[in-house]
Amino acid sequence: GAVVSQHPSWVICKSGTSVKIECRSLDFQATTMFWYRQFPKQSLMLMATSNEGSKATYEQGVEKDKFLINHASLTLSTLTVTSAHPEDSSFYICSARQGASYGYTFGSGTRLTVV
């Protein structure tokens, strides 16, 4: 089956630094990738949608200068949290769509803690 690898699983960083999270589709080409944020005991909140080779489309209220998304290839998308602050601490999850099919495959998530 389709596999999406997300790294790192968890990261702790100091306030003011930047953190990069990678999302790779291992056995399929992901024309579209999605980035979500999830707070404890809450649902997934879509942050942005990225298509390979295009600029990401951000949801309302998501700061595009803080959450930089790059989808440079059909198998890799990255989310960079810039100048992280404690309020950015959360669980970040990527998802990849397998082209024209209905399938959405999720990564295992990244727990970000900003201290």
The torsion of the CA quartet 51, 53, 59, 63, rounded to 10 degrees, works out to 150
Sites for other proteins among residues 80-99 (CB under 8 A): 91, 93, 95, 97
User: Smallest gap, in angstroms, from Cβ of residue 10 to other proteins?
Assistant: 8
The two three-digit tokens of residue 109, written as one number: 């998530």
Sites for other proteins among residues 32-91 (CB under 8 A): 32, 34, 41-44, 46, 49, 51, 57, 91
Name the residue nearer to other proteins (CB basis): 81 or 107.
107
Give the integer Cα–Cα distance in Å for 12 and 19.
9
Name the residue nearer to other proteins (CB basis): 32 or 70.
32
Radius of gyration of the chain (CA): 13
- DSSP-derived secondary structure letter, 87: G
The answer to whether 75 touches 4, Cβ cutoff 8 Å, is: no
> Site residues (CB under 8 A) for other proteins?
4, 6, 32, 34, 41-44, 46, 49, 51, 57, 91, 93, 95, 97, 102-109, 111
